[in-house]
Chain A
Amino acid sequence: MNTMNPVIDQDAKVEKAPEPPAGNGINDADLEGRTVGRPFADAPKFSLRDVEVFYGETRAIKRISLDIARNEVIAFIGPSGCGKSTFLRCLNRMNDSIDICRVKGQLQLDGHDIYDPKRDVVELRARVGMVFQKPNPFPKSIYDNVAYGPRIHGLANRKSDLDDIVERSLRGAGLWNEVKDRLDTPGTGLSGGQQQRLCIARAIAVSPEVVLMDEPCSALDPIATARIEELIAELSESYTIIIVTHSMQQAARVSDRTAYFHLGHLVEVNETNKVFTTPQHPLTESYITGRFG
């Protein structure tokens, strides 16, 4: 049997091999559940304990524990495939639609279990909004894009209320002045940066408590990126924001705390300036000094 299909054998070996590309002699057992820094907070918004995510047989997230405080901006950084997006999508159960994905562990929002089978995912997503990597406005008018969430959740009974929500959200996303005269034109006709701000307006239109952002600036030019970063700073006054980013500068600019992920482990969490000036874990240090990733 062994000699019949050497290719499969090789694959199996690759999977079993200890991975850390950074060297340092660090392997899975040293990392699992041993987050350094300050992962916990008092009276957190999100309380996440021993979270594991499986894609079929593969364990994509390996026993991560983390608290996310109210109205803080926390950035998830790490090399590609480290699981930061997967982890983010657990927080409003966007992984539900992936059949082979299973989530284990205790995930609580304000003390209530997110993955409680009795929990209504629609209600959860109304409280935990999301902005995606690529701007994805609906092929509808700018107005309808923003009004869609309030409409389906029944947040506005009268047209004037809805108008107010749309204006407030567009102002919140810093887009109002640019689009107020053409609210009935397609949202898909805006520029990339405007589209992303429209998506942010759409997300905050339902007045969520938390906004998840999955690399919101990766498809934008530096000017549009700067605009979104300003916006994040403004939004952080009223929302808890969790942002996944590939840009360490961005993490340093916008976030209060930074979490470094590595191959499904949460290696280090700390105040952003501490992570970038005095990282405690050698893997974090290698990553932020550009030795890999």
Chain B
Amino acid sequence: MNNQQQAELVRQSLKRRYRKERRFRLYGILAIAIALAALVTLFADIIGKGYTGFIKTTITLEVPLDPQTMYLEDATDKDAFNMADFKAPLLTALHNVLPETGKGDNRDLGHLLSSYAANKVRDTLEADLSLLGTTQTMSFLVSDDVSVYVKHADDPNYSIQLSEKQQRWVDRLQERGIIQNSFNDVFFENGDSRDPGHAGVLGAIVGSLLTMVVTLLLSFPIGVAAAIYLEEFAPQNRLTDFIEVNINNLAAVPSIIFGLLGLAVFINLFGLPRSVPLVGGLVLTLMTLPTIIISSRAAIKSVPPSIREAAEGIGASRMQVVLHHVLPLALPGMLTGSIIGMAQALGETAPLLLIGMVAFIVDVPSGFVDSATVLPVQIFLWAGSPELAFIERASAAIMVLLTFLIAMNALAIWLRRRLERRW
């Protein structure tokens, strides 16, 4: 074979190689495109369905706080105050804005308002009795049937529960600006509620935060310490091999098993209370530990041995080598692993169901041993509710959860960049 023939052969094989390369690159681009499309679809679907969860429908009425209509002769009398009819002034106000309605429509009119509207009148009066006899401009949430009608009248997925007559009223009130949509601040200020209009995620957010604090405070130090010991100090023998295999196995155990463990150990054996962030955090710590240990060990392993040798060669003790050189270099990897572990824990539902964090809790928890629920469990609860208005609450809560997750991942990336850029 002469040189020319050989060059020709090489040229032909080159063509084939380039074709292969192009094809391979195409596969890669295709895979990424599919993944992106899936992500976009997911986000579009959730946001499209859930954004109405961030909108509340209110009705603004001139409420005549007339003692006569409320049957409240003596407002200072506690019993009389408790017996008073706080719904009556609301109905009067509605009659005023809808002159065509009569006494017979009271029942239908009452359905327009949220069941907590009368409570609001009562609370206002209780706070300031001097308002008695005056007319006050007050805003109330509408009932969820009205809310669904206002937001989703054209959506076939939502069945409208209002009668023709009620729909006409609502339309007219909307035209006159008496019924309005606005940003749903209630959603971020309240805990759970039986009434979708009053249900909020604040309780779940605080519960999640408290749980995460417990998880982080326990799992990060324990995980990093375990990783350092196993990687730097533990002798290589059967026992440490056994421990290593078990840590890897634990990382693959379904999370609900950790819930069972938590129920058996923390609640039944140690007698800790149910449904509290402390126990939730402990259970999630068990779940996140393997992830943190494995990623921390990988981070420690990736520290070049030459740095270790250099420090030892100058006479640094084992501890100094670890603290001064290995740990700072491994920290970005450790933090990334930990934050990803925490993000996993934040989205975890199953183990928390078993320790009772699935309870219906209205109050925003104020401590680690207060009954609480967490965001994913709240979503789970709302998604299973029969009321249509809860579905959009669930979607809105999913968006809140996703925001937290994205924020945590962004934090992980930022921390890693920042710590790595130093050298």
Contacts and interface: CB of A to CB of B under 8 A. Distances in A.
A134 B315 contact: no
B310 A125 contact: no
Interface in B307-338: 307-317, 320, 324-325, 329
A186 B320 CA distance: 20
Interface stretch (A64-72, A92-100, A110-118): A92-100
A132 B313 contact: yes
Nearest to B318: A97
Contact of A136 (B236, B307, B316, B329): B307
Nearest to A151: B324
A40 interface: no
A153 interface: yes
Given A139-B329, A186-B423, A149 B307 contact: no
A280 B311 CA distance: 40
Contact of B309 (A94, A124, A137, A206): A94
A88 to B, nearest CB: 12
A72 B4 CA distance: 62
Contacts of A122: 315-317
A55 interface: no
B315 A152 contact: yes
Interface residues of B, number: 20
B325 A138 contact: yes
Nearest to B310: A136
B307 A123 contact: no
A153 B307 contact: no
Nearest to B313: A130
Contacts of A138: 307, 310-311, 325
Interface string B292-315: 000000000000101111111111
B325 A152 contact: no
**Most chain B CB within a 10 A radius of its CB, from A140, A152, A203:** A152
A75 interface: no
Interface string A231-263: 000000000000000000000000000000000
B235 to A, nearest CB: 7
A130 B316 CA distance: 12
A206 B313 CA distance: 11
A188 interface: yes
A94 B312 contact: yes
A125 B317 CA distance: 10
Contacts of B307: 136, 138-139
A121 B317 CA distance: 8
A131 B306 CA distance: 11
A186 B420 CA distance: 13
B314 A129 contact: yes
A144 to B, nearest CB: 10
Nearest to A96: B312
A202 interface: yes
Nearest to B306: A136
B306 A134 contact: yes
A125 B320 CA distance: 14
A97 B311 contact: no
A148 B307 CA distance: 13
Nearest to A212: B313
A136 B423 contact: no
Nearest to A125: B315
A281 B311 CA distance: 39
A165 interface: no
A148 B314 contact: yes
Interface in A151-207: 152-153, 186, 188, 199, 202-203, 206
Contacts of B324: 148, 152
A228 interface: no
B315 A153 contact: yes
B235 A206 contact: no
Interface string B175-202: 0000000000000000000000000000
Nearest to B315: A125
A283 interface: no
Contact of A139 (B312, B313, B423): B423
Given A99-B235, A152-B320, A125 B423 contact: no
A99 B308 CA distance: 16
A94 B311 CA distance: 11
B314 A188 contact: no
A27 B151 CA distance: 96
Contacts of A142: none
Contacts of A266: none
A126 interface: yes
Contacts of A92: 313
Contacts of B306: 132, 134, 136
Interface string B234-249: 0110000000000000
Given A139-B329, A206-B315, A99 B309 contact: no
A149 B314 contact: yes
B312 A97 contact: yes
A139 B310 CA distance: 11
B302 to A, nearest CB: 13
A149 B310 contact: no
Contacts of A126: 314-315
B9 to A, nearest CB: 39
Contact of A152 (B236, B304, B314, B329): B314
Contact of A202 (B235, B308, B314): B314
Contacts of B313: 92, 94, 125, 129-132, 203
A152 B316 contact: yes
The 9 closest A-B pairs by CB, nearest first: A125-B315, A136-B306, A130-B313, A139-B423, A126-B315, A149-B314, A136-B310, A122-B315, A186-B423
9 contacts: A94-B312, A125-B315, A132-B313, A137-B310, A138-B325, A148-B314, A152-B316, A188-B423, A202-B314
